[in-house]
Chain A
């Protein structure tokens, strides 16, 4: 099977089984919305699927191969932590990120993307002086910069205002319509703008 396929995943954190023998797949053209109460293991699952942490047991494949460089090329992950350094400006943060991820984006393009996200005038100030929502926008601007097939977004709507949420939902829909795949989790429901959503529920286990 192509796409992102995880089979028989188990995760144990601090002697508590978060999930056991969990199977999951994400195909192109899908928007999967991961639901579950606090502590159910949503973030742990997302981090395991990214390849950031290792499952207790189970395998994950991307395009029928184990996760490796070809997977990182096709992935954008935006986690709880924005990955934005407070001492650097938004432009510097993005420029360095693009370089690390082998994305070629001109400075003009970076300014353009930040403007699209409503950060005009904020490009050249250290990111620690930005508000939480503005920092989140800087983090999310990666979705506009790198053309990756899979987006894994952990609580992407945190701290975003109504307009920002709508803009991100539109972006997610466009990505899915163009054959991309999105895996996201959030405690607020997605609106209709985000298009068809497949739900995946994680239960809290004792």
Chain B
């Protein structure tokens, strides 16, 4: 199992461009908003949480396909399925690796984004908590959809169409948590709901990913 993780990590660092591109995309989307909406500090603070979260979701969709695409195309996934390792565990390892290389850089970049959009320290803390809990959810749920679409040619747009509606609840609770933080209100409820969604996803997604990969091999 550690072998799967190490291999994915090695591959990720071998293909750095694929890691950096979604991050650059995120940065550019966020910088477009002050230019398009206007640079007023109050306006930016108002739209900031939503902008960062939407940009995070969109940029995560760009890199999501990487999860299984190459392994499916070159047959490595077949070999993995015939290795005798439990497929749900393999899928979990791959999702974990994907989260580490996709979203940890985003978290590192987040103070800069918060500064761009004039977020207060309270808002930033809330934003980081929602990102920490919410982004694994993006990876886990996204992996199910990637598993289902990996056998299709040009599954990229379909992937976005499948996933964006699913991420709406996460977006609502995440941005509302940051908004509450802006007003110095408690936001534990929103965090608890995101946490609950994450726990459900952690429990169910590995089996669902394994099943979707099996379906794609048929």
Contacts and interface: CB of A to CB of B under 8 A. Distances in A.
Given A53-B217, A54-B218, A97 B79 contact: yes
Nearest to B71: A85
B101 to A, nearest CB: 14
Given A53-B217, A83-B74, A96-B3, A101 B83 contact: yes
Contact of B84 (A82, A83, A102): A102
Given A81-B73, A87-B14, A52 B84 contact: no
A69 B84 contact: yes
Given A83-B79, A87-B14, A100 B85 contact: yes
Contacts of A73: 84
Interface string B5-28: 011001100110000000000000
A85 B7 CA distance: 10
Interface string A70-103: 0011010101111111111000100011011110
Interface residues of B, number: 24
Contacts of B4: 100
Interface string A149-163: 000000000000000
B14 A72 contact: no
Tell me which of B70, B74, B85 has the highest count of chain A C-beta atoms within 10 A of its own C-beta: B74
Contacts of B81: 52
B34 to A, nearest CB: 37
Interface in A107-159: none
A68 to B, nearest CB: 9
Contacts of B73: 81
B74 A86 contact: yes
Interface string A22-48: 000000000000000000000000010
B11 to A, nearest CB: 6
A101 B3 CA distance: 10
Interface string B74-103: 111011111111000000000000000000
A50 interface: yes
A124 B82 CA distance: 26
A51 interface: yes
Nearest to A74: B84
A96 B7 contact: yes
Contact of A99 (B3, B70, B218): B3
A92 to B, nearest CB: 7
A88 B70 CA distance: 12
Contacts of A83: 74-76, 78-79
Nearest to B83: A100
Contacts of A99: 3
A96 B11 CA distance: 12
B75 A81 contact: yes
Interface in B38-66: none
A47 B216 CA distance: 13
Contacts of B80: 100
Contacts of B217: 47, 52-53
Given A52-B217, A72-B84, A100-B79, 8 more contacts: A47-B217, A83-B75, A84-B74, A84-B75, A85-B76, A86-B74, A101-B83, A102-B83
Interface of A: 47, 50-54, 69, 72-73, 75, 77, 79-88, 92, 96-97, 99-102
13 contacts: A52-B81, A52-B217, A53-B217, A73-B84, A75-B82, A77-B79, A81-B73, A83-B75, A83-B78, A86-B74, A87-B14, A88-B11, A100-B85
In the A-B complex, the 7 residue pairs with the closest CB atoms:
A81-B75, A99-B3, A72-B84, A83-B75, A83-B79, A100-B83, A96-B7
